[in-house]
Structure 1
């Protein structure tokens, strides 16, 4: 008998190792992994400094959620590799998972700012396929916006320190 379907939420900043863990989980759970940067860079290139970037990115995440919803209804696990930087985003997806009758597990991938910035330099120098270019100043801004999982979230959170 198949276990209950699960929505996996990848939490963390760029360069924390989210996608690395998400790719491992994809094989472990035979899950569909949805990583917005892979779609975004293919459709729009490296547009992080363009005015339309945020609207484009939000549109991609919305479309990927629509796909995720249908796949979850079909009984297949889904990994949303979105980052979910603020608690309200995580709470919203957990509630939607409950409405769909599926489990929700948070995978929090942490790295200190110094490590993130070091990895960002390497990432930007090589820019593998499907990986978005990010200016250092943006990552520093995002670091200040990021809300680590709160105590109440920890009961359904797996934490990775890479």
Structure 2
């Protein structure tokens, strides 16, 4: 049986970079809700974003479990923004007998703001891939949803340092 690595971190924290690193180290499959949303809807879900996102996460959570049960390691870029989400997903995989770890991708504020600025520039230039532009209003909404995990909530701390 494979294992599941769940990535926890704010938007633009470096989860995608870290997931590629883990993929190579663990010979794992990466499952990314952001990539799926882009490939399926080109980020054009509009007012149905919240509904679509919840359904997609539920579906991908199930599929990640099936992939691990089939023997492959999986890196799941889920974000896990709330304590409740972190506990529920850990309980879900435990119930299935699947080993999982939560890796917290932690970024300092200066690096985070630089990441956001670089992302927005790529999006404006048409090189954003699955990314979307993060304006002040959206950033305020996202920041209000983020719950910093306590040490007891993650297994591995990965600090992003661009210096």
Pair in the same fold by TM > 0.5: yes
Q: Which residue of the partner structure matches residue 49 of structure 2?
A: 53
Q: Give the deviation of 1:65 after TM superposition.
A: 1.5
RMSD, aligned α-carbons: 1.9
Structure 1: gaps of 5 or more residues: none
* Corresponding residue to 1:91 among 76, 79, 87: 87
Aligned-residue offset at 1:76: 1.2
Partner of 2:158: 159
- The alignment's TM-score, normalised by the length of structure 1, stands at 0.85
State the distance in 1 between where 2:136 and 2:11 align.
11
Distance (Å, rounded) in 2 between the aligned partners of 1:30 and 1:109 = 20
Point out the more displaced range, 52-61 or 135-144: 135-144
1:41-80 to structure 2, matched below 5 A, reads 41-47=38-44, 50-80=46-76
Please state how far the C-alpha of 1:26 moved relative to its aligned partner.
1.1
**How far did 1:59 drift?**
1.9
Q: Which runs of 4+ in 1 moved over 3 A?
A: 112-115
TM-score of the two chains, using structure 2 as the length reference: 0.85
Indicate if the aligned counterparts of 2:106 and 2:157 stay in contact, CA closer than 8 A. no
